[in-house]
Amino acid sequence: MLQERLVTANNRFTFMPASINNFLDLAVPGVRALQPYSPGKPVAELEREYGIRNAVKLASNENPFGPAPLAIEAAREALQDLARYPEGSGYQLTAALARKHQLDPACITLGNGSNDVLDIIVRIFLTPQHEAVFSQHAFAVYPLAVQAVGATASISAAHDGERGAAYGHDLAAMLDLVGPATRLVFIANPNNPTGTWVDSETLESFINALPDHVMVVVDEAYFEYVEAQGYPDASAWLSRFPNLIVTRTFSKAYGLAGLRIGYALSHADVAGLLNRVRQPFNVNSVAQAAALAALGDEDHLQRCVQRNREGMSRLVAGFDALGLSYIESVGNFVCVDTGRSGADVYEALLQRGIIVRPVANYGMPNHLRVTVGRADENARFLNALEQVLHD
């Protein structure tokens, strides 16, 4: 910690005591009040703190089956050239994504994870005079990014289960919040942590009803897992809605969370703005190579989706057997209502070597979010959960 500061007087340097409060005062208001994002507890940290071995992590919506073998091999090859900067434009990966989505490469923006792209979008379109609209229980990064730039967050109530899926986005309520100062609307489809989703007709009508001065971000981080009939691919609408930005990631179904790579799809003019703000070399060469290879292994992706479907069925069957309610999810995670303090159940599970995610910060104090794991991991979790609930 800095304890002194250097000042000058009559061409002489003098050290003066410095207060940490001075640094806080220098920060912009949104950052001063910001609480950092808290990621899921790492396995190594749990094992170190509790003296536990062979812990299971079902906390961060990672793909427990890992990346495609082709992606691993491509990453190994890229390691041989680490002395060189990565390709700044991501030409090869951008071209492959353009072919995948049938878009011009000028419509692609690469990010250090899709979180990076979300942060870029906020910095471009929001100021302290503007506001962003999103739903209650929506992804935690939205309010963090909005607060950091000093903008206003307008949060709509989620569905109560009568007019739509409980805990899901109520797009009519969100539209009611849109006003002259609104510049961004965030829709996570499906949403993290609830796993709820918006159907094609409802989402398309909502976007069509937005005024021209509002950009809408459809966050499709879990797109590859969704098999529900009526679920939309919003990227197919870009030619009709120039105010639409779709974000995707390689961190989930593609199993590349450790390399941090995602992207945005948008009108070329919007992508031009994003790429003005995007940091040079924000996506490293290993990530680019692995992502490019992952796109070429559709069989591995589909195997992961199938195993996720099987694991989800096992988890919800276990919840039913325990008499627990849960939010029906189309992602690779599910939120279960423990019927008591989720924080207490979370702590008790930690002591048994199981890491899940408490979601009290999302306004769901009795729920835990559980990532679908491998068959053995799901079984360990359900056994541990039964022990905790019956203690």
CA-CA distance, 90 to 100, in Å (whole number)? 15
Please choose, from the candidates 390, 391, 333, the residue with its C-alpha nearest in 3D space to the C-alpha of residue 367. 333
Centre a 10 Å sphere on the Cβ of residue 2 and count the other Cβ atoms it contains.
9
Please choose, from the candidates 128, 162, 148, 112, the residue with its C-alpha nearest in 3D space to the C-alpha of residue 277. 112
| C-beta of residue 141 within 8 angstroms of C-beta of residue 115 | yes
What angle separates helix 91-101 from helix 285-295, to the nearest 10 degrees?
Answer: 30
Phi, psi dihedral angles at 110 (to 5 degrees): -85, 150
Sign of CA dihedral 260, 265, 266, 272: positive
C-alpha of 225 from chain center: 14
CA-CA distance, 157 to 179, in Å (whole number)? 17
3-state secondary structure of 288: helix
The residue type found at 98 is A
Burial state string for 323-338 with b = 16 or more CB within 10 A and e = fewer than 16: ebebbbbbbbbbbbeb
Domain ranges of the chain: 43-65+299-390, 79-296
- Beta strands 367-371 and 357-358 are antiparallel
CA-CA distance, 48 to 73, in Å (whole number)? 31
CATH classification (class only), 43-65+299-390: alpha beta
CA-CA distance, 253 to 68, in Å (whole number)? 10
Contacts with 330 (C-beta within 8 Å, 6 or more apart), sequence order: 190, 195, 196, 197, 222, 225, 226, 227, 228, 231
**What tokens were used for 162?**
């009568």
CA-CA distance, 375 to 307, in Å (whole number)? 9
CA-CA distance, 201 to 67, in Å (whole number)? 33
Indicate the fold that domain 79-296 takes in CATH: Aspartate Aminotransferase; domain 2 (3.40.640)
C-alpha of 361 from chain center: 15
From first CA to last CA, the distance across the chain in angstroms is: 45
Helices (H) and strands (E) in the chain, counts: 14, 15
- Predicted pLDDT of residue 200: 98
Sign of CA dihedral 324, 44, 360, 126: negative
Overall residue count recorded for the chain in this entry: 391
225-248: per-residue pLDDT in tens? 999 999 999 999 999 999 999 999
The reply to whether domains 43-65+299-390 and 79-296 share a CATH topology is no
**What tokens were used for 158?**
């989620």
**What tokens were used for 288?**
């680019």
pLDDT in tens, the chain (391 residues): 444 444 454 555 555 555 555 777 777 777 877 677 677 777 888 788 878 888 899 999 999 999 999 999 999 999 999 999 999 999 999 999 999 999 999 999 999 999 999 999 999 999 999 999 999 999 999 999 999 999 999 999 999 988 888 999 999 999 999 999 999 999 999 999 999 999 999 999 999 999 999 999 999 999 999 999 999 999 999 999 999 999 999 999 999 999 999 999 999 999 999 999 999 999 999 999 999 999 999 999 999 999 999 999 999 999 999 999 999 999 999 999 999 999 999 999 999 999 999 999 999 999 999 999 999 999 999 999 999 999 8
